[in-house]
Copies of this chain bind each other. A is one copy, B any other.
Amino acid sequence: MSNIADVCLSPDLIHLFSLKNKVVVVIDIFRATSVMCTALNHGISEIIPISDLSELNKFDTDDFLIAAERDGKIVQGFKFGNSPLTYLNRPEIEGKKLVLTTTNGTRAINLCKVDAGDIIIASFLNITAVVNFLKNKEKDVVVLCSGWKGQISLEDTLFAGCILDKLIQVGFLSESDSSFLSRQLFNDSKTNLIKFALQSSHKKRTENLGIDKDLRFCLQLDKFDNVPIYKNGSVVLH
């Protein structure tokens, strides 16, 4: 009996999915889950995903690095936002805990944390590691796209199509129309993923924010060979 892999293209559709005993793969390609993969591979020991800005003041800045993003920008008063590049080559973050709140990605994690069997974090940066993890897990899978304020996003849909293709190749069944259209879209983008993905509304929305380098960084395949997993309120490397 094959396991089933499906995709939820917006957090606002998550009520349509039963998550019990399933692995939920949370993605927010531009940029929260790409940031999580990067930060955990560059010294951060764990990440606490927070939905509301108001919760940030519970955390002491002596013990935690705090990163806050809304609408693509660092929230005023904070040093770190949602750029994966910020976490590269920074010896001072080694071993630190990161408290992270973003427009979409951290909300998606918190939406499914009550019902899901397991929650893992994926991006293009660790896609092969995630596929291997899911293959060994032998459970049904729901890929949860974070989107943009509830709207479906191109880059998350492309990633969903890419990982569902790979999961089908290792024996999963994936027959929903959302799966079909994600995979069709990914296959259209195959010859030039970067050019295709940069047609997204996120790119247009953030054009003046100078984060083009970030977006290109997020579209690299398999820079990291591990899987962040959400456990007891924190994301840590598996």
Contact = CB atoms under 8 A, between A and B. Distances in A.
A200 B180 CA distance: 8
A157 interface: yes
A145 to B, nearest CB: 11
A150 B220 CA distance: 33
Contact of A13 (B12, B153, B202): B12
A176 interface: yes
B152 A178 contact: yes
A204 interface: yes
Contacts of A154: 177, 180-181
Interface in A65-87: none
Contacts of A184: 185, 188
A13 B13 contact: yes
B201 A176 contact: yes
A206 interface: no
Contacts of A199: 180
Contact of A175 (B157, B177, B185, B204): B204
Interface in A135-150: 148-150
